[in-house]
Amino acid sequence: MLTWNVTYHCKTGKREEFYQGLCDLGVRTRSQSEKGNCRYDYYFAAAEPENLLLVETWQTPEDQQAHCRTETFARLQELKAQYCESVEIDRFEH
Protein backbone atom coordinates (compact mmCIF):
# COMPACT_ATOMS: atom_id res chain seq x y z
CA MET A 1 0.00 0.00 0.00
CA LEU A 2 1.01 3.58 -0.62
CA THR A 3 -0.10 6.60 1.43
CA TRP A 4 0.55 10.20 0.51
CA ASN A 5 0.05 13.06 2.94
CA VAL A 6 -0.35 16.10 0.70
CA THR A 7 -0.23 19.48 2.43
CA TYR A 8 -1.62 22.29 0.32
CA HIS A 9 -0.21 25.66 1.44
CA CYS A 10 -2.95 27.96 0.23
CA LYS A 11 -2.63 31.62 -0.62
CA THR A 12 -3.68 33.91 2.23
CA GLY A 13 -7.42 33.68 2.83
CA LYS A 14 -7.97 31.17 0.00
CA ARG A 15 -8.19 27.81 1.82
CA GLU A 16 -11.99 27.76 1.99
CA GLU A 17 -12.33 28.73 -1.67
CA PHE A 18 -9.83 26.03 -2.65
CA TYR A 19 -11.70 23.41 -0.64
CA GLN A 20 -15.03 24.51 -2.15
CA GLY A 21 -13.50 24.20 -5.62
CA LEU A 22 -12.39 20.65 -4.78
CA CYS A 23 -15.91 19.83 -3.61
CA ASP A 24 -17.51 21.38 -6.69
CA LEU A 25 -15.20 19.32 -8.92
CA GLY A 26 -16.00 16.17 -6.94
CA VAL A 27 -12.34 15.31 -6.42
CA ARG A 28 -12.89 13.19 -3.30
CA THR A 29 -15.88 11.26 -4.61
CA ARG A 30 -14.31 10.62 -8.01
CA SER A 31 -10.97 9.59 -6.50
CA GLN A 32 -12.63 7.20 -4.05
CA SER A 33 -14.30 5.41 -6.96
CA GLU A 34 -11.01 4.80 -8.78
CA LYS A 35 -9.43 1.35 -8.89
CA GLY A 36 -7.18 0.73 -5.90
CA ASN A 37 -8.24 3.70 -3.80
CA CYS A 38 -8.50 2.88 -0.09
CA ARG A 39 -8.72 6.40 1.36
CA TYR A 40 -9.03 9.97 0.12
CA ASP A 41 -9.82 12.48 2.88
CA TYR A 42 -9.23 16.18 3.51
CA TYR A 43 -8.40 17.76 6.88
CA PHE A 44 -8.25 21.37 8.01
CA ALA A 45 -5.17 22.29 10.02
CA ALA A 46 -6.28 24.08 13.20
CA ALA A 47 -2.88 25.64 13.85
CA GLU A 48 -2.22 26.53 10.20
CA PRO A 49 -5.22 28.44 8.82
CA GLU A 50 -3.88 28.44 5.24
CA ASN A 51 -3.16 24.68 5.07
CA LEU A 52 -5.33 21.83 3.85
CA LEU A 53 -4.15 18.24 4.31
CA LEU A 54 -5.09 15.43 1.95
CA VAL A 55 -4.45 11.85 3.09
CA GLU A 56 -4.74 9.39 0.21
CA THR A 57 -4.01 5.66 0.28
CA TRP A 58 -3.74 3.38 -2.74
CA GLN A 59 -3.34 -0.38 -2.98
CA THR A 60 -0.38 -0.08 -5.37
CA PRO A 61 1.87 2.68 -6.71
CA GLU A 62 0.45 1.90 -10.16
CA ASP A 63 -3.07 2.70 -8.92
CA GLN A 64 -1.86 6.06 -7.66
CA GLN A 65 -0.04 6.75 -10.94
CA ALA A 66 -3.24 5.96 -12.87
CA HIS A 67 -5.04 8.48 -10.64
CA CYS A 68 -2.52 11.11 -11.74
CA ARG A 69 -3.53 10.54 -15.39
CA THR A 70 -7.26 11.26 -14.88
CA GLU A 71 -9.13 14.31 -16.10
CA THR A 72 -10.08 15.10 -12.49
CA PHE A 73 -6.40 15.20 -11.51
CA ALA A 74 -5.66 17.54 -14.43
CA ARG A 75 -8.43 19.89 -13.31
CA LEU A 76 -7.09 19.70 -9.73
CA GLN A 77 -3.81 21.09 -11.04
CA GLU A 78 -5.68 24.16 -12.32
CA LEU A 79 -7.22 24.70 -8.87
CA LYS A 80 -3.81 24.34 -7.21
CA ALA A 81 -2.33 26.96 -9.53
CA GLN A 82 -5.14 29.35 -8.68
CA TYR A 83 -5.30 28.86 -4.89
CA CYS A 84 -2.02 27.39 -3.61
CA GLU A 85 1.39 28.85 -2.91
CA SER A 86 3.03 25.42 -2.65
CA VAL A 87 2.40 21.75 -2.03
CA GLU A 88 4.34 19.41 0.26
CA ILE A 89 4.11 15.63 -0.12
CA ASP A 90 5.14 12.95 2.38
CA ARG A 91 5.04 9.45 0.92
CA PHE A 92 4.78 6.23 2.94
CA GLU A 93 4.88 2.66 1.66
CA HIS A 94 3.40 0.00 3.93
Instruction: Give the mean model confidence (pLDDT) for residues 74-90.
Output: 97
Q: Is the pLDDT of residue 21 over 90?
A: yes
**Which pLDDT value is given to residue 9?**
98
Query: What is the pTM for the complete model shown?
Result: 0.94
Instruction: Give the mean model confidence (pLDDT) for residues 60-70.
Output: 96
**Which pLDDT value is given to residue 12?**
97
Whether 58 maps to a domain, the answer reads yes
**Which pLDDT value is given to residue 45?**
87
Q: Is the pLDDT of residue 60 over 90?
A: yes
Number of structural domains in the chain: 1
Whether 94 maps to a domain, the answer reads no
- CATH number, domain with residue 34: 3.30.70.100
Whether 2 maps to a domain, the answer reads no
**Which pLDDT value is given to residue 91?**
96
Instruction: Give the mean model confidence (pLDDT) for residues 15-37.
Output: 97
Burial 50-84 (b: 16+ CB within 10 A, else e): bbbebebbbeeeebbebbeeeebeebbeebbeebb
Look up the domain containing 51 and give its range.
8-88
**Which pLDDT value is given to residue 93?**
93
